[in-house]
């Protein structure tokens, strides 16, 4: 029997083929937004809701000239370049010395059999050099991640297509999470960001999931600090009355894997500012 998630996906994407592979999923995902929000160029969705309102976009662009995360970005660079007790630094753990690599994360680590996000890689690097891991939601880790995203601006998201059985299982897990309803409101991620995208929820415009992972970490005005994507995942789960998962849990990493793969071909423009 075809599951509810597959039926929902078929309805949203206008297709009866529900067992598509990752690349077919990605093409249909883009086509959905191209049809639903035809006046907005696909590449503009990296700007989130600001792609949908000219007035709000103008104010946002003005704010980005002197962004509220500017000092945290500088601190992130200092933290990235700082030496560990053994004399090494974060640069030693990443290709290209960690400069301009954000577009390759997350990826599926075949040897470890799991999805590796940029934030997870940062902490694993620290631990490998005898340092303590940093909290995943905000603070120093978000600052380091923001700096690494900043060095990657303009680079195109390029998450390799899942090929192995284990990688495909992680991808499908993230896909299932995205389309599954949960919480007291019985909402899925797709309820807001596909079914109701472009509409208003109170005073906020619901953005498209296309490009959602392109601009993180984000300085949210309500947070008054930089926060990571998994902090936002937790907040979204709480808002629909579901119990949020731990940051960097397997489920959230798989969700990030799926969402980022859907945005392959779009540019990194993080860190960003949001309400």
Question: What is the per-residue pLDDT across 128-180, written as a single tens digit (0 to 9) for each?
Answer: 999 999 999 999 999 999 999 999 999 999 999 999 999 999 999 999 999 99
Instruction: Tell me what pLDDT residue 17 has.
Output: 42
Give the per-residue SS3 of 34-101. Answer: HHHCCCCCHHHHHHHHHHCCHHHHHHHHHHHHCCCCHHHHHHHHHHHHCCCCCCCCHHHHCHHHHCCC
CA gap 105, 66 in Å, rounded: 27
> Residue 169: phi, psi to the nearest 5?
-65, -40
Q: What is the largest CA-CA distance in the chain?
A: 57
End-of-domain residue from the set 118, 150, 182: 150
Whether 174 and 253 map to the same domain: the answer is yes
DSSP per position, 158-191: -PPPP-SHHHHHHHHHHHHHHH--BTTTTB-HHI
Question: What is the per-residue pLDDT across 178-217, written as a single tens digit (0 to 9) for each?
Answer: 999 999 999 999 999 999 999 988 778 999 999 999 999 9
Instruction: Tell me what pLDDT residue 275 has.
Output: 87
- Asked about 93 being catalytic, the answer comes back as no
Report, as an integer, the average pLDDT of 53-62: 91
Any domain includes 274: no
Q: What is the pTM of this model?
A: 0.92
End-of-domain residue from the set 83, 117, 150: 150
Helices vs. strands in the chain: H and E counts, helices first? 10, 7
> How many domains does one find in the chain?
2
CB 230 within 8 A of CB 136: yes
Whether 192 and 257 map to the same domain: the answer is yes
């Amino acid at each position: 029997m075809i599951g509810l998630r597959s039926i929902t996906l078929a309805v949203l994407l206008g297709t009866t083929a529900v067992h598509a592979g990752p690349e077919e999923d990605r093409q249909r995902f883009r086509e959905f937004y191209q049809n639903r929000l035809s006046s907005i160029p696909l590449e503009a969705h990296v700007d989130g809701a600001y792609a949908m309102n000219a007035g709000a976009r103008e104010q946002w662009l003005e704010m980005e000239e002197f962004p509220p995360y500017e000092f945290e970005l500088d601190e992130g660079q200092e933290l990235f370049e700082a030496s560990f007790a053994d004399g090494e630094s974060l640069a030693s753990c990443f290709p290209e010395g960690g400069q301009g690599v954000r577009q390759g994360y997350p990826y599926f680590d075949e040897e470890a059999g799991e999805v590796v996000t940029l934030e997870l890689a940062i902490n694993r690097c620290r631990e490998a050099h005898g340092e303590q891991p940093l909290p995943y939601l905000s603070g120093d880790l978000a600052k380091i991640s923001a700096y690494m995203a900043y060095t990657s601006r303009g680079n195109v998201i390029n998450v390799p297509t899942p090929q192995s059985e284990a990688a495909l299982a992680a991808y499908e897990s993230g896909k299932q999470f995205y389309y599954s309803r949960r919480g007291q409101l019985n909402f899925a991620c797709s309820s807001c960001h596909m079914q109701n995208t472009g509409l208003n929820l109170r005073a906020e415009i619901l953005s498209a999931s296309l490009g959602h992972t392109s601009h993180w970490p984000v300085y949210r005005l309500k947070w008054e600090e930089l926060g990571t994507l998994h902090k936002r995942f937790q907040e979204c789960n709480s808002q629909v009355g579901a119990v949020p998962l731990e940051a960097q849990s397997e489920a959230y990493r798989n969700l990030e894997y799926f969402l980022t793969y859907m945005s392959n071909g779009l540019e990194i423009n993080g860190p960003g500012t949001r309400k």
